[in-house]
Structure 1
Amino acid sequence: MAADLTAGRALPPRAARKTSRPAQASPSSAAVSRRKGTGAWAAVGRIASMSAMLVALFAAVVLIVIPVATGSHTYTILTQSMEQKFPPGTFMVMKPAAFDELKAGDVITFQMYSGRPEVETHRIIGFGATQQGEKTLITKGDNNGANDPEPVRAIQVKGKLFYAVPYVGFLANALGNSDRGTWTIVAAVLLIGYGAITVYRSVRRPSSARFRAVV
């Protein structure tokens, strides 16, 4: 029996056939390291940006928003009369308070002379009265050796200590007392605006990155 020499050679089974494909180049270790480094710096930048935003918002709320919302007056300690607790440069927020509610130990800001702009911030250490029976306050600086020479009347009191922020008063004092109201409004707008922009960027950036990764 003769063999059929015209028949082609049998093909191997499908599983045995292999299709050659170009090998994909794997990223180099240097490229991977660069990507990791860039991602780490980006994370640090986002954390720093968010921290700056939080500080700005905290400053705006504590130094501007709360005093305005509560009708408080702000002052700066300029002398050493209230050390150790309130050194020079302390930013004092003084909230209006009823005269009859003031008690010994309260820190108050008062006009040194009725009708004049000069003020003093000292602590109440006692009470007195005028010959007409008007109640007065006896005050003293924490670091002073003697009481204030004149008693304080109700009309002189500007407010009672709400809270104090160390050293911030130097900045407020540098801006000037006469224009402090204008400067505080400008500062509030800038700080809150900066915080809003920072929040927007920090929220938008991860979303954009995820969108590019999917595409």
Structure 2
Amino acid sequence: MSGRKKAEAPASPLSFIGTGVSYIALCLAALAALALVVIPMVTGSQTYSVLTSSMAPKYAPGTFLVVKPVPFQELTVGDIITYQIESGSPAVITHRITSVGADQTGETVFTTKGDNNSVEDELPVREVQIKGKLFYAVPFVGFIANGLGNSDRGAMAQWGAVALMGYGVVALVRGALAKKRNDGETPEDNRSAEDDPFVFPDLGPVEGEADPDGFGDPILTDCDGCDHSGRRGELGKHRHRHEARKHATV
């Protein structure tokens, strides 16, 4: 006998909101881990934070910069590069190339300028000073890096990646457990034709097939005052009585 599916309690609006916020947070965490940790590590890029307004408004203070190493010969006018103020010095500047020239020895050098500055940088930039070309930038994230300092930035990225990946794993496990609980409350074996249009009612054996209950043809004789709309077990007893009556009158 097919049972009925248990009635499910309607989900509250707060439940929908909580689920939506969780999924949005998970997506943001995944994007943040990808942009701030995974891509820089895979591409061998270095990360920096904008400290001044020389490249504002597009690259305002607090912007997180991902700078990718590229061959010197591929750099052209209009590229944004990060370079050391002095060769071997940790202090760097991120400005745009405005022209390409050569020094007295014939070495190729770049003239640079901040987008928000009115004059070009005083000293030309040599190949040995260049750290790389701007790959992409993420606004506001640099404020966190600035607060931690340059010496702690690598550790911040590693711990940030661990935290984001841990959050993702916890969210996936919670979702799987919730789905398992829901599946356990409404098993498919309990579905009936009224609950699911793809579950068909039991109409007895098909014509020409053997009846597993041994009752033969579903209708043996016509009779008056009989209700054939009962369940299959009652119909089986009814047919059995008619069959016995038929043998008794032979």
Given the two structures, how large is their TM-score scaled by the length of structure 1? 0.80
Q: Which amino acid aligns with 1:103?
A: T
Gaps of 5+ in 1: 1-26
Q: 1:103 aligns with which of 65, 69, 76?
A: 76
What is the alpha-carbon distance in structure 1 between the residues aligned to residue 141 and residue 159 of structure 2?
Answer: 17
Conserved? CA contact 1:57–1:195, under 8 Å: yes
Q: Which amino acid aligns with 1:137?
A: F
Where does 1:1-215 land on structure 2 (aligned, <5 Å)?
Answer: 35-36=9-10, 38-214=11-187
Deviation at 1:203, TM superposition (A): 2.8
Conserved? CA contact 1:50–1:199, under 8 Å: no
Deviation at 1:45, TM superposition (A): 1.7
What is the alpha-carbon distance in structure 2 between the residues aligned to residue 210 and residue 123 of structure 1?
Answer: 58
What is the alpha-carbon distance in structure 2 between the residues aligned to residue 175 and residue 131 of structure 1?
Answer: 42
Conserved? CA contact 1:53–1:199, under 8 Å: no
SS of aligned partner of 1:94:
strand
1:6 equivalent in structure 2:
none
Q: Which amino acid aligns with 2:126?
A: R
SS of aligned partner of 2:176:
helix
1:211/1:39 Cα in 2 relative to 1: closer, same or farther (>3 Å)?
A: farther
Structure ID, larger Rg = 2
Deviation at 1:202, TM superposition (A): 1.6
What is the alpha-carbon distance in structure 2 between the residues aligned to residue 89 and residue 172 of structure 1?
Answer: 8
What is the alpha-carbon distance in structure 2 between the residues aligned to residue 84 and residue 177 of structure 1?
Answer: 23
Q: Deviations over 1:157-193 (max 9, x none)?
A: 0010100011111011112210211121111011011
Q: Deviations over 1:104-123 (max 9, x none)?
A: 00000000111111100000
Conserved? CA contact 1:46–1:202, under 8 Å: no
Extract structure 1 runs of 4+ deviating beyond 6 A.
none
% identical aligned pairs = 48
Aligned CA RMSD, in angstroms, stands at: 1.7
Q: Deviations over 1:81-111 (max 9, x none)?
A: 0012111111110000111100000000000
SS of aligned partner of 2:48:
strand
What is the alpha-carbon distance in structure 2 between the residues aligned to residue 78 and residue 86 of structure 1?
Answer: 10
Q: Which amino acid aligns with 1:189?
A: V
